[in-house]
Amino acid sequence: MAILTLSCRQNSFEYSLFDSEHFSLLACGTVIGIGRGRHAELICDHIQPQHQMETVPILNDLHSAIKYVLTLLDSSGRDCCFSTPVAWTITAVGHRVVHGGELFRQSVVIDDQVLKKIRQLERLAAKYNRPNREGIEAAMALLPSLVHVAIFDTAFHQTMPSSAYIYPLPYEWYEKHAVRRYGFHGSSHLYLSRCVATLMEKPIDQCRLITIHMELGISLCAIADGRSVDCSMGFTPVDGTMQTRRSGTVDPGIPGFIMDWQELSAQQVEEVLNEKSGLVGIVGSCGGRRDVLEKSLAGESRAKLAIMMESYGLKKSIGSYLAALGGCDALVFSTGQGELEVETRREFLSGLECFGVVLDQQRNSKAGLSDVPQLISHDDSSIQIWVIPTHEARVYAEDTVLVCAGHCQEPWQQEYRFSSTLSGK
């Protein structure tokens, strides 16, 4: 028996297949280049250093792409990164949905009404919810007899107090248009927080944590007693700290000024803030965060500036969350770009010693070289610092099983087996 999880984007999707009893990973991969009129690529990752990429047929949409992967798994009996066949039967599918608005506080079975609500929420996040919905519709058409479950990025952050999620704007904007802070990367922040609580051997409802999700998008979350109380991402994922392609928080007067002087539309400015800003905006042409980190280490001036700007923003965010939480038990970083993050962590944690954040340079230099959680704080640090590989798909899989069994609760209330796995229980 197996659980399939899907995270669909506009031109790509990630899939993972888990054993539904022990949640061991059976297969996983990413299909990129969908709908671009050329051959797509299938990237298979399982246990490093296994990593394979192969060219696949032209895939015009998510339906054909998901069908291709299902056919591949079914016909070969194995994922392409495995050397021996693995038998499985998919019993349910868990779908990542970026935006649940205020309508969804937990994962749910997808029916016509839920699908209708997900479609309605596209007005808040069309770039993300539309491909999420299209992936759901494709998978439901291809696997009509299975239970399909929606897991929302925003659900974990529904515990934020109104003082954190209401913007200082006309209150009618919130009442009429749902303009508020929502927070994103919820499954990752949930995973990181539960894992570090287990590693510290401390109940999650007695922890004050700051989790930092570092991937293409970067977000920070302040967590008290297992609940999200603030998140750097707001009404959209572009808010918060500087990211690979997103600007993060900027003076709200800038878009109007640029629209006026460069005669740009609101949509054009939004594209710049989402796709042409952040590290990419400072460095110019680059292949992404890894490329910028490598250029910075090589001494390129604009890349060094970009990383210094990012580090300064992260340092300010960490400081504000230390104040908001009234103290902290641990800072938790996802692995991001692995060993390349060593210097960035050193940069933005420098100067936080006055708050009890003391980095162990030797431990930090080794973090990211393996796929296991690593403590990188000095023994004298009053706040522990951890690097933990995030595993959002594991949250999707566990929520899917819980929903199918009728036991799913709001994320902050839910017991997850992945945390007990770390402790060997």
CA angle 372, 377, 383 (to 5 degrees): 115
CA distances from 384 to 23, 186, 197, 317, 366 (A): 28, 22, 11, 17, 16
- Does an H or E element contain 8, and which? strand 2-8
Q: How far apart are CA 230 and CA 181, in angstroms?
A: 9
Tell me the Cα Rg of the chain: 21
Distance (Å, whole) CA 152 – CA 409:
13
Separation of alpha carbons 211 and 297, rounded Å = 25
Task: For the beta carbon of residue 284, count every other beta carbon within 10 angstroms.
Answer: 10
Query: How many CB atoms lie under 10 A from the CB of residue 327?
Result: 12
Cα separation, 337 vs 348, in Å, equals 16
Active site residues: 153
Q: Which runs of consecutive H residues, i.e. helices, occur in 184-325?
A: 186-199, 253-261, 266-275, 278-283, 289-297, 301-325
Q: Are 190 and 411 in contact (CB under 8 A)?
A: yes
